[in-house]
Structure 1
Amino acid sequence: MRALCRRPSLAAAATVLLTCLPAGRQEVSAGVQVTAADLASLLLVALAATLALASRPTHPLPASAVVPARALVLAPVAGAAGIALLASPDVLTSLPGYVRCLQVFVLVPLAVLVTVRDRTDTLVVGGALVGAAALQGLVGCVQAVTGTGASYAGERVRAVGTFGALDVMGMASVVSYGALLLLAAGLAWRGGRRVAALGGAALLCVPLALSLSRGAWLALLGASLVMLVVHSRALAARVILLGAAAATVLVLGPGAGSDPDLLGRRLASITSAVSQPDQSVSDRYSLWLTATRVWQDHPLTGAGPRRFAELRDAYAPIELSSGSDTDDPVNGFQRRPLLSPHNMYLLTLSEQGLLGLAALCACLASMAWWAVRAAVPAAAGLLAWQGIDFLYGDVGGPSTVVTSVVLGLVLSLVARPAATGWAGGAPVALGVAR
């Protein structure tokens, strides 16, 4: 407890690491599930509130440094969610969704902002994210090799880490965060530390590939390019040219006409997602259409938090499947209902209306603008990945707590550039100067 009082960012790190605890058997029909990481996030919020309200004269930071003015960017998100709750026809159904929205997009990011105050704090939280990514990646690789992961094409070869088949995107998200932080470190460091950081980022791409998550691959590629542009436009141009040349060789080189393996087929399916979508992509398009139909009947404040699942059948096209099949050694075979549109922007639009979508986009866009202006590759890359990820996914599952910590870390980097190591536009990564 004494160490926690001296270094409150340890609570944020613990919140991240606790998401790595095996989820155990889960039932898709279960309601709100509270995990150890959720409880840790409550402790983090309580600790941050205590720090923010403390008025001791010996406090090492002035009040403005404890809660920077840029924290106000979170206020519209809380306000829009509150309005959607009050306007909901079923307030009791919407209340858990409202609380979840506050936890993920307001309270935990604000708590991380309060507790991450200097370079050491940035290292503590960033190190926890990289450590969680390494652990999840290792477990995922073992799953893919031994056939103990989630089922794909009739085989349990999909790497999902400790999150299980019911949170199939969890491992891919955590591994992506770790890879981007290591890439940021590699861009800033020199010598052996640069080699180690870039090597670690490359190694994390292995479990990410084995996750078979097409969206995560595209998001990591886009985020990496954003980081390179923010760091150095000349370096970004060279990397893009080399990447284009390598892609040309792979397409035109020997073996282009051979029968691709599982990973190759998954990669090739990206280009056919529009012309010849598979069932999962087709269902996603149907869910997107359902979300827009819900929004058309509730344009300003939405149908209410957590009400998309209740209204889905009334608005869904006939092509939508009743659910998707999941299978892993822990949970066995289960039929999982499709209860969200798998698009954070459309989920917000349908449940919180134009007010909610405008608040969410304004929050993310403001942080992105600050990250680019201050030349913070880590913050820009993490925000780019999250922005792309929200195009094909939304919040849900144990890994959501990690997302909220990442948003708080980004806000800390752009709101306190001097304390976290970005003073005067001099780039550093994870709190270590060039």
Structure 2
Amino acid sequence: MNSDEQRRQARSARHYLFDGPLTRRLQITIALAARALEFPTAMVNILDEDFAHTISLVGAGDLAASPREGAMCDTTVRSGRPLIVADAAADARFADVPAVAAGALGSYVGVPLTGRESLVVGTICVIDVRSHQVDEGQVQRLVEFGKVVEDQLDLMRRLREHRTAGTVAAAELATAIRTGQIVPWYQPIIELGTGAIVGFEALARWQHPSGQLEEPGVFVPLAEDSDLIIDLDLMVMRQALTDLNQWQRHQPGTRMSVNLSARHFGRSEGLPQIHSVALDAGVAPEQIDLELTETIPLITDTTSNSSVTRLREQGFRVWLDDFGTGWSSLEHLIRLPVDGIKIDRVVALALGTHIGNAVTRAVTGLASEMGLITTIEGVETHRHATIAHQLGCDYAQGYLWSRPLPAAAVDAAMASA
């Protein structure tokens, strides 16, 4: 990396120097990464020209900035490839690094994190004071955790940018919702016991007039910062249920899952609107799953409790989404009378390790005790699907079966089934 490349890299990296509440979600991801690789410490570091800034850390120490020069993360960023140092004291490249010489750093595994400008901006790494052998499978697992961290960093960046951009960005999104540019794509939901498709999750996409397609991480955070999320939810739900009505002619038992913000609960017309959308589409509420998102805190007072109860009385099934990655998930589960839990894809990444299996088993065991059903998201291998089923998951979704598809692709598949 020459000086010009390093300056470009540093400019990109500065977009990801967060602190405070924005970085809280990273904690669970890197904690799972550390336990899955059997290392005591994990961190996310962002590197500018002079320093490696630790923005998230579990296992030891405090958040801090340290000189970039000579750091193992600097080598990882410069190469753009995973770096494995099994015994730092015996590695001529790093034996003189102060932490290594002092016996505070014995082994390191780091993988690069790429930012929006397609430049490496930092690393996710795990460290141990002792030497530590690592196999190829563990490195690949850390790469997968790195992809999740990249998504989370981009989400945090977009949240900050949207708040800075203010009314201009909000007005553009409001126009997109009003003119039908927000459309649902669909990911199949699989019954693990049979391998059958039992339904689809509707996932918002922004179809620009130019043909450009944007995924929800680009615009949903802006919507969730305001009541625009209400209009967006209803727009996606309306189209998704219209599509479902057509698909049920070929597969009558097919279900539809749609995301629902807690903001609907604070409006007198909120629940009647949701029920009306279902009736207008000709779909029975009994065939609809409403997934309560945790991107904004759920209201856990009597209003939310009564709202969930009313939705269930109307026939809807209500789920807690992203379970296992939000600090308040257990509180929500205790307070809200839901039907099911969706286990976050970060947990799926750790399947097959002691910690991943333990977390999944704990969630499914709790669900079973409470009479709830479970879906695990982000399943990408047959091995993980088998483990998830053995650990008690009822349903799953992920790239193993399909990426999200436009309605036309599902239409064709349903018609030929």
Confirm or deny a common fold (TM above 0.5): no
Larger radius of gyration: 2
Structure 2 length-normalised TM: 0.32
Structure 1 length-normalised TM: 0.31
